Amino acid sequence: MASAVLEQRGPGLYETYQITIPYSAQLPPILPGTDILVVGKTLPNVKSFSINLCSGPNLDQDVALHYNPRFDQNKVVKNDKQGGKWGKEEIDATLPCSKDQNFEFRIKVTQKGYQILYNNAEVSTFNHRLPVERVNHLFLSGEIAVHFIQLTNGQLAAFQPPPPNFNYQIPQFAPYTAYPVLPPQIGAPIINPAVPFTTAIPGGLHPSKMIYISGVPNANAQRFSINLTTGSSENHDYGLHFDVRLAYGSDKNVVVRTHKKGGSWGPEEKTTPVFPFAPNTNFDLMILVEPNCFKVAVNNAHFIEFNHRLQPINEINHLIVTGDVKLTHVRFQ
């Protein structure tokens, strides 16, 4: 099996969406501060799967980290392999995930070893047995489907906390009816689309649907908005209105989330752990559709959850982006 290569998207940022299991990818140099994100889903018949950091394209080479949830044994096995021999197993007695379930596994490389996070919560650790400089491949196997892999080298910049809550105002953007509506894009990314931007969501929304949006707020950005709607105009309902306010009147560094039904806006949600947006600074945003909510991650970190207010969610079939932002990449998975 030939090894893939992660696409470099920026300084210290690599990712791919083209993943078939078993999967092998050549990695850039790994060092403390490296962060590897694997997003996917366990299959209904899963018996086991493994995430491996190796010195070559598969398990025939030395393995620095073998993380192996075994559903048929109800445990997780962690190990290394050197010179053709497996080391001493370390066991986690609890599985981090269930069958037929979406997951986000993150491996953080530290001076001491590896931190393993599941859906942004630490579930395991594994001390270095093999020098991290030997790692040059990621190998995935087992009964899983993987949608997205991202690697970042070095620590993300520190973010400033958001200001106190504010009174939400209904957005005032140009009429949506003036926006060009792009045809559905299946698989291939939409590169550098003009803003305002509207596109149909192929297949509509359903659990496990993922939307990836990369962009850069303008130098003098006041606000921009990401919307999941039931149509291509402002007259339609909004399942999610994600309104980023960098400097809009008295509102600064705030993200407001709400919905709209029958022309009326719902209650606003404003609390966020950080404010990960800045003028002239690239962001990578991912929306994961869960059965009960939207999960939003920004810059490789979980950001917010927004419970579904508009049902059924498969009636949500358009993405609309407006405001002071340049889009570089949009993709549906």
| Whether the Cβ atoms of residue 241 and residue 260 lie closer than 8 Å to each other | yes
**Which pTM does this prediction carry?**
0.56
Say if residue 304's pLDDT is above 60.
yes
Q: How confident is the model at residue 157 (pLDDT cuts 50, 70, 90)?
A: very low
Written as six digits, the tokens of 120 are 């942004």
User: H or E stretch including 10?
Assistant: strand 7-10
**Is the CB of residue 333 less than 8 Å from the CB of residue 148?**
yes
Alpha carbon distance 223, 244 (integer Å): 5
Say which residue, 26 or 119, is predicted with more confidence: 26
pLDDT at 162: 30
- Long-range contacts at 127-134 (CB < 8 A, ≥ 24 apart): 128/64, 129/64, 129/80, 129/82, 129/87, 130/55, 130/62, 130/63, 130/64, 130/80, 130/82, 132/30, 132/31, 132/32, 132/64, 133/29, 133/30, 133/31, 134/55, 134/62, 134/64
Q: Is residue 227 pLDDT above 50, yes or no?
A: yes
pLDDT for 142 equals 97
Burial class (CB in 10 A: 0-12, 13-18, 19+), 314: middle
The residue written with tokens 């490389």 in the block is 109
Confidence of residue 165 (pLDDT cuts 50, 70, 90): very low
| Residues 31 and 153 sit within 8 Å (Cβ to Cβ) | yes
